[in-house]
Amino acid sequence: MGDMAEMVLDGLICERCGSFTDEEESGYAKLCGECERDLRQKQVRPRRFWKKKNPPRQR
């Protein structure tokens, strides 16, 4: 495995953008603060499978 891959898996660099994280080695892959904020802003609610006006029939 390459040096960069090991650094991502150790938690030294961000798994998404490759920049250094603020903390020390954590032993697992993680995101930097900027990528975490970016993902939180882009989260959307899941779509519904049916419209509210036409709920599924109950027997």
pTM here is: 0.60
Residue 26: both structure tokens together: 């954590």
Q: HSE, CB side, 13 Å, CA atoms: give it for residue 30.
A: 16
Exposure of 26 by Cβ count < 10 A (0-12 exposed, 13-18 middle, 19+ buried)? exposed
pLDDT tens digits for 28-39? 888 888 888 888
Q: pLDDT-derived band of residue 13, with 50, 70 and 90 as boundaries? A: very high
| Position 14 pLDDT exceeds 70 | yes
Please report the DSSP string for the chain in residue order. --HHHHHHHHTSB-TTT-PBPSS---SS----HHHHHHHHHH--PPPPSS-SSSPPP--
